[in-house]
Amino acid sequence: MASSSSNIEERFKINSEMESAQFKDFAKEMIDYVSNYLENIRDRRVLPSVEPGYLRPLIPETAPEKPDNWEDVVTHWHSPRFHAYFPTANSYPAIVADILSGAIACIGFSWIASPACTELEVVMLDWLGKMLDLPKEFLACSGGKGGGVIQGTASEATLVALLGAKARAISLAKQAHPEWKDSDIISKLVAYSSSQSHSSVERAGLLGGVTLKSLKPDSSNRLRGETVEQAIKEDIEAGLIPFYVVATLGTTSSCTFDNLDEIGPVCNANNVWLHVDAAYAGSAFICPEFRYLMKGIERADSFNFNPHKWLLVNFDCSAMWLKDPSWLVNAFNVDPLYLQHDQQGSAPDYRHWQIQLGRRFRSLKLWFVLRLYGIENLQTFIRKHVALAHHFESLVRKDDRFEITEEVIMGLVCFRLRGKNEISENLLKNINARGVIHLVPSKINDVYFLRLAICSRYTETADIELSWNEIKVVANEVLSQ
């Protein structure tokens, strides 16, 4: 079985095409390429003109050859002409941080697996929490149970909070009714969110195996306290167990804000876990003038937003704070010998705070971005996007053929051509077919509209005017048909 010691190196010679010297050359070429790609992204067709399956014939069936030209087959999310979905962040400091993270390549599932990976995350989430003026119960530095963690996506944060809430609800129900089985309790559990909440909330209910009820928001598309109260009351009367509410600050369809200040007391009074999903809009709370929109946050059990959307930290970096992570840590704790270490309990072992075991050193991205931009520039970045959205809004409002369908608060403008949905559907279809700019639609109460999100950190007034002109050109065509 044993190999002769002397010649392992000789017998197993790896002829890698990339050792240190080549890596330096190649990586530096890639840096130039990446910089050039981003600096000139404005000039690229935002949406590629390809069909499903286009790629397979271009590359070999099994063996490696020359790379394709990526720029032609990628949707350019960072083009100032990309206005679909919400932004995904991208900045040079974050890219450099990821290079370092890739080289250290630790898997920080426990404190000992990489102390810096855990500790920097604890401190960065405190920094970020303070930037948003989060109540101290959410911060690790307050010395209580609370603290922050980096999740991959808001979907995971919603699911993780739901699973924590489920564990708490089962525990409370068993205290009151020791004879009840888990399956009986779970079948009675009810979660709630607005019908305007993100699709991942509904999906968290499916994945978590609990009933999630969709509640009707008010005429301004905001979920209100009395709606939640009424639903909880009816379900308790029907013998069910309300246990989890998701309030959204900045919905995906139209960036509207549920009334947290009303919903919080209702949840607290009924022992219902309140999770706040501010995936996109949360970044704006670093500007004091937007914090009125998170009024009532002190009533929440967990809060989440994505620096990887609107705070110049590359994906993935979804910041989540929990007032009491012990529901998660204890409910899903498995603790094999090979993962134990002497310092357990003195610092968080983040593997208990998430779905996965492994995790990358993602707090480096926060550290680099916060240091190299500073709070002030990040605030300016947010304010500029909001100003650009208002500028686009003003252009739309000057054209009587169009209407604005939702109050513009952040970097999203919802608009449509007046009249039947079909006209706006045609408008969108033709805009995206031309490929100069890219938008996605939404629909609320059967009213179809277009969403223009300010996505790129390169977006300037001239880009907005180009986008608006493009929309007008297509509108002229559509309306003349």
Q: Are 87 and 455 in contact (CB under 8 A)?
A: yes
Task: Pick from 133, 177, 184, 477 the residue near a copy of itself by CB under 8 A.
Answer: 184
475 contributes a contact to a copy of itself by CB under 8 A: no
Nearer to a copy of itself, 266 or 369 (CB): 369
Alpha-carbon distance of 248 to 260, in angstroms, equals 8
- Cβ proximity to a copy of itself: between 222 and 309 the closer is 309
Tokens at 194, concatenated: 């607005």
Are 140 and 147 in contact by the 8 Å Cβ rule? The answer is yes
Residue identified by tokens 């067709």 is: 45
Kindly report the number of other CB atoms within 10 A of residue 418's CB atom.
Answer: 10
Task: Kindly tell me which residue out of 42, 79, 122, 223 binds a copy of itself, with binding defined by CB under 8 A.
Answer: 122
Distance of alpha carbon 434 from its chain centroid, rounded?
Answer: 29
Q: Which of the stretches 213-221, 268-276, 297-305, 384-392 binds a copy of itself when contact is defined by CB under 8 A?
A: 384-392
In angstroms, the CA 382 to CA 147 distance is 25
Read off the DSSP letter of residue 332.
Answer: T
Query: Interaction with a copy of itself in 208-247: which residues (CB under 8 A)?
Result: 208-209
What is the contact mask toward a copy of itself in residues 246 to 285, using x (rule: CB under 8 A)? ------xx--------------------------------
Question: Does 446 help bind a copy of itself (rule: CB under 8 A)?
Answer: no
Q: Which of 171, 177, 180, 181 binds a copy of itself (CB under 8 A)?
A: 181
3-state SS class at 367: helix
CB of 331 to a copy of itself, least distance (A): 7
Which pair of tokens denotes residue 8? 């392992």
Q: How many residues does the chain have?
A: 481
Residue 122 or 300: the one with the smaller Cβ distance to a copy of itself is: 122
* Nearest of 262, 310, 308, 264 to residue 285 by alpha carbon: 310
Taking CB under 8 A as the rule, does residue 37 contact a copy of itself?
Answer: yes
Residue from the set 338, 400, 446, 480 that interacts with a copy of itself by CB under 8 A? 338
Told to check if 337 binds a copy of itself by CB under 8 A, we report yes
Give the C-alpha distances (Å, rounded to integers) separating 36 from 2, 90, 137, 279: 52, 14, 44, 30
Q: Under the criterion CB under 8 A, does residue 119 sit at the interface with a copy of itself?
A: yes
Place of tokens 């949707």: 75
Nearest-approach distance from CB 352 to a copy of itself, in angstroms: 10
Closest approach, Cβ 182 to a copy of itself, in A, equals: 8
Q: Strand 318-322 vs strand 402-404: parallel, antiparallel, or unpaired?
A: unpaired
- Determine if 67 is a binding residue for a copy of itself (CB under 8 A): yes
Stretch that binds a copy of itself, among 159-167, 171-179, 235-243, 287-295 (CB under 8 A): 159-167
Nearest approach, Cβ of 158 to a copy of itself (angstroms)? Answer: 10
Does 177 participate in binding a copy of itself (rule CB under 8 A)? no
The piece of 149-157, 231-239, 263-271, 296-304 that touches a copy of itself (CB under 8 A) is 149-157
Question: Which of 348, 314, 306 has the alpha carbon at shortest distance from 119?
Answer: 348
Pick 130 or 401: Cβ nearer a copy of itself: 130
- For the beta carbon of residue 34, count every other beta carbon within 10 angstroms: 12
CA distance linking residue 279 with residue 301, whole number of Å: 16
Binding-residue pattern over the window 188 to 207 for a copy of itself, x denoting contact by CB under 8 A: ----------xxx-xx--xx
Piece in contact with a copy of itself (CB under 8 A), picked from 69-77, 172-180, 288-296, 472-480: 69-77
Q: What tokens does 275 get?
A: 């999770």
Task: Assess 145 for contact with a copy of itself (CB under 8 A).
Answer: no
Q: How far is the CB of 463 from a copy of itself (least distance, A)?
A: 11
Joined together, the tokens standing for residue 212 give 């999630």
Whether the CB-CB separation of 243 and 168 falls below 8 Å is answered with yes
The single residue among 44, 123, 135, 240 that binds a copy of itself, judged by CB under 8 A, is 123
Residue 23 near a copy of itself by CB under 8 A: yes
- Quick check: 334 binds a copy of itself (CB under 8 A)? yes
Shortest Cβ 240–a copy of itself spacing (Å):
12
d(CA 134, CA 302): 11
417 pairs with which residues across the strands? 402
Per the CB < 8 A criterion, the answer to whether 171 and 215 are in contact is no
132 binds a copy of itself (CB under 8 A): no
Using the contact rule CB under 8 A, the part of the chain among 229-237, 283-291, 314-322, 471-479 near a copy of itself is: 314-322
